[in-house]
Amino acid sequence: MIPVEEIYAFLLGLPGGRITMAAVVFSLSAVLLYYAAITLVALFKRLSAKTETTLDDIMADRVRRPLKLLSVLLAAFIAAGAAYPDSTIFGHPTFEVFRVLLMFCIIILLDSIADGVMVWYGKEIAPKTASRFDDEIFPLFRKIARVLIYVLGILIILSELGVEIAPLVAGLGIAGLAVALALQDTLGNFFAGVYMMADKPIKPNDYIKLDGTEVEGTVVEVGWRNTKILTLANNYIYVPNSKIAQSTITNFYSPDRSMGFVMDFSASYNDEPDKVVEALMEAAREVEKRTGKIVSTSVPPWARPDTFGESSINYKVGVRVLTYTDRFPVRGEMIKEVYKQFRARGITIPFPARTVYLKDSKGNDLGSVEVNLKKGRRGA
């Protein structure tokens, strides 16, 4: 075996001296370390191919680049140590400089590993969960985790270099507080959006109404700041998440899309209530057959007298419609069918009536007259 001193003397005696020696040592070390890293990754991938999970495959791909970078850095450190053992870089020993660079490589390696784990979770685990919370919010946590790794890594490096990081951390805290105060509304909407994604009071395609407002429509998207709602007039309404989180929400698609719907009808006092109820039930059955928008399997249609009105007996008819918006065509068809059934059975739909009592100038009663207000409800 050739002694190390002879190899060192041979390299030092090459044309160019220490520069040539550093280049030769760097080239040889880089090639050896590079192929060692490639061999290690290939061996790991071969072993990972035999497992069912894809986590190890993703890890093998993620660590390839940081290991290559690490091999080049180590080769440069070996070359610098061999050719210029007592040299300094910007007044710092070569070992210290390479130690800092090595810490940067380790940070990159940790970031690649952490990101690989999160990518694996997003592809393998998140789609299999019942909740869509991790699908929607996981990309944000992935970015936050990467930022934290680099921030913590840089703080550790500064501490190793002798930099006092306590004032820096305090400054970052004060800056963060100032930013939080400046973005108070934005952060409030963001955390409200996180709450809604986690708790799921609403989700896309739900038909909702916010109590105390005129906001009503189909949820299109729950974003980080706003929730987009499509109204029946085919317009988008963008509502801040914080406002939705503080509101009482009526979700017409929860627990399921079908819902009860009650309609009011009236008939004359001269018509038997049983006869009117029979006509209303027949109308509901006909509308169910014609539209297919009434669900009678769980809750069959019903009709019953409700109140005594001024000129009629008022009735209520209840059906279960498929969705909230099906109320409108069902009501229209019910009005047409009830009118048809009433006419076929001779049932009268009375006009509002008023009784007018007549007196002369001396206050003597002259009798009374009943007036039907066919053109609207107004005084005689």
Residues 124, 24 share a domain: yes
Beta strand 216-222 with 226-230 is antiparallel
User: What pLDDT score does 380 carry?
Assistant: 35
Q: What integer pLDDT is reported at residue 328 of this predicted model?
A: 92
Strands (DSSP E) contained in the chain are: 88-89, 92-93, 207-210, 216-222, 226-230, 236-240, 249-251, 259-267, 302-308, 313-321, 353-359, 365-372
Confirm whether pTM is higher than 0.85.
no
pLDDT at 166 exceeding the cut of 80: no
Domain shared by 237 and 281, yes or no: no
More confident residue, 321 or 191: 321
CA distances 139 to 80, 118, 142, Å, are: 42, 9, 5
Query: Domain for residue 211, yes or no?
Result: yes
Query: Cβ distance 292 to 326 under 8 Å?
Result: no
Question: How many domains does one find in the chain?
Answer: 4
Q: Check residues 292 and 366 and name the one with the higher pLDDT.
A: 292
> 37 and 173 share a domain?
yes
Top-ranked range on mean pLDDT: pick from 36-45, 50-59, 162-171: 36-45
| 173 and 34 in a common domain | yes
Position 191 in a domain: no
**140 and 286 assigned to the same domain:** no
Instruction: Domain of residue 96: give its range.
Output: 4-182
Residue 304 lies in a domain: yes
Range of 118-122, 311-315, 375-379 with top mean pLDDT: 311-315
CATH code at position 279: 3.30.70.100
Residues 341 and 361 in one domain: no
Residues 340 and 358 placed together within one structural domain of the fold: no
330-345: average pLDDT: 95
Does a structural domain hold residue 229? Answer: yes
pLDDT at 246: 81
Kindly state the average pLDDT of the residues 175-188: 62
What is the predicted pLDDT for the residue at 207?
A: 92
Kindly state whether residue 189 falls inside one of the protein's structural domains. Answer: no
Residue 123 DSSP class: I
Residue 187 domain flag: no
Residues 280, 326, single domain; the answer is: yes
pLDDT band at 344 (very low <50, low <70, confident <90, very high): very high
Mean pLDDT across 178-203: 66
- 367, 284: one domain: no
Is residue 196 assigned to a domain?
no
pLDDT > 90? residue 339: yes
Same domain for 266 and 246: no
pLDDT at 129 over 70: no
C-alpha–C-alpha distance, residues 45 and 64, integer Å: 11
Element containing residue 163 per DSSP (H, E): none
| pLDDT reading at 165 higher than 80 | no
Q: Is 62 exposed, middle or buried (0-12, 13-18, 19+ CB in 10 A)?
A: buried
Q: Mark 185-200 as b/e (b = at least 16 C-beta within 10 Å).
A: eeebbbebbbebbeee
Comparing 79-93, 202-216, 244-258, 263-277, which segment has the lowest mean pLDDT?
A: 79-93
Q: Quick one: 103 and 169 in the same domain?
A: yes
- Residues 112 and 18 occupy one common structural domain: yes
Residue 193 lies in a domain: no
CA 160/CA 378 separation, integer angstroms: 90
Return the minimum-mean-pLDDT range out of 11-15, 105-109, 229-233: 11-15
CA separation (Å) from 378 to 260, 312, 359, 370?
Answer: 34, 17, 20, 13
- Last residue of one domain, picked from the residues 235, 251, 267: 251
Share of the chain above pLDDT 70, in %: 72
Asked if pLDDT for residue 126 goes beyond 80, the answer is no
